Amino acid sequence: MAVDIFYPEPESPDADKALAAVFKKNKDRLVVALAFDVEEGKDYSGDIEDVLYENTILKIENHKFVKDHVVKAHRVLLPLEPIASSTAYGHVYPLPDKDGKHRWENLYIKYGDEYFPSLPLQTARIARGISPENVRILGGTGVDLDGLLIPTDRFGRLHINYIGRERSIIYKSAADVLSGRVPAGFFKDKIVFVGTSAIATYDMKITPFSANMPGVEKNATVVANIMNQDFIKKSPAYVDLFLVLLVGMSVLLISYRQSASHTILVYALLTAVFVVSNQVLFTFYGLRINFIYPVATLLTAGTFAISYRFFIEEKSARSIRKIFSSYVTERVVDELIKNPDLAKLGGERREITVLFSDIRAFTTFSEKHSPEEVVALLNEYLGAMTEVIFKWEGTLDKFVGDEIMAFWGAPMRQENHAELAFRCALNMSKRLEELQKKWKSEGKPALDSGIGINTGDVVVGNIGAEGKKMDYTVIGDHVNLGARVESLTKKYNTRILITEFTLNKVRGLIADESFAHMSVKGLEKVIVKGKERPISIYEIKSLDAGVKSIFTESEKEDIVRFEEK
List for the chain the helix, strand, coil content (%; round to 5): 40, 25, 35
pLDDT at 545: 77
Indicate the SS3 state at residue 27. helix
Q: Is the pLDDT of residue 348 over 60?
A: yes
Of 558, 561, 554, 557, give the one whose Cα is nearest residue 532: 561
- Asked whether the predicted pLDDT for residue 558 surpasses 90, the reply is no
Q: Is residue 465 helix, strand or coil?
A: strand
Question: What does the pLDDT read at residue 565?
Answer: 46
Please tell me the distance from the alpha carbon of residue 562 to that of residue 542, in angstroms, as a whole number: 27
> Which residues lie closer than 8 Å to 294 by C-beta, 6 or more apart?
240, 243, 244, 247, 274
Lowest mean pLDDT among 271-285, 286-300, 316-330, 351-365: 316-330
Q: What is the rounded CA–CA span in Å between residue 538 and residue 80?
A: 119
Rg (CA), the chain: 46
- Dump pLDDT digits (tens) for 127-161: 999 999 999 999 989 999 999 999 999 999 999 99
pLDDT-based confidence at residue 464 (cuts at 50, 70, 90) = low
3-class DSSP state for residue 337?
helix
Q: Can you say how many angstroms the Cα of residue 54 is from the centroid of all Cα atoms in its chain?
A: 58
Are the C-beta atoms of 122 and 143 separated by less than 8 Å?
A: no
Q: Residue type at 391?
A: K
* Residue 339 backbone zone (phi > 0: left; psi -120 to 50: alpha; other: beta): beta
Pair 518, 548: CB distance under 8 Å: no
The per-residue pLDDT for 329 is 54
CA-nearest of 487, 465, 464, 486 to 475 is 464
* Cβ neighbours, 10 Å, residue 465: 7
Res. 269 pLDDT band, cuts 50 70 90: confident
Domains defined for the chain, CATH in brackets: 2-231 (no CATH), 234-322 (no CATH), 346-561 (3.30.70.1230)
Q: Which residue, 519, 352, 473, 472, is CA-closest to 419?
A: 352
Pairing type for strands 559-561 and 550-552 reads: unpaired
Please state the pTM of the whole predicted model: 0.57
| Phi, psi dihedral angles at 396 (to 5 degrees) | -80, 110
Quick: pLDDT tens for 221-248: 999 999 999 999 888 878 888 888 887 7
What mean pLDDT, rounded, does the chain reach? 87
pLDDT of residue 320: 57
Report pLDDT digits (tens) over 155-189: 999 999 999 999 999 999 999 999 999 998 899 99
End-to-end CA distance of the chain: 111
Sort strands 518-527 and 550-552 into parallel, antiparallel or unpaired.
Answer: parallel
